[in-house]
Structure 1
């Protein structure tokens, strides 16, 4: 069951990231709607995985989220990459 959830998370992520890449290539921008539509299934699958298999990993997930968000914000404001890149991280 855990493998199925991991596969679903990977599939959903690849689906949205491929669309974001294609959109960025064609129009040089990625709509915020991509991330608004991506967040609910991503959070839902992650929380299902946490609650069913390893709830003790929640602090680690929170730490990883915080560090990744900080890294993305720093790179965005330093001009390292654009807004879609920061949102994707």
Structure 2
């Protein structure tokens, strides 16, 4: 099915400036994508389990283990002398 897409309006919404050649090219490409979406809609997917990713995603975080923090002397081994009168 042929789709009419106002590609210049779509580009404006995306804050893009397209030349006339780019508009013709992208309008044709977007029409092909929409045509393919119609092809996919024609398939019965009622028995297919919904997924967010094509492959399983596992928790990649390491266990949060407390460790000793940094001391001032470790960060700054030779701090400047304190000004006179400061505590």
- Asked if Structure 1 and Structure 2 have the same fold, meaning a TM-score greater than 0.5 normalized by the shorter chain, the answer is no
Higher alpha-carbon Rg: 2
The answer to which structure has the higher helix fraction is 1
The structure with higher relative contact order (CA 8 Å, sep 6+) is 1
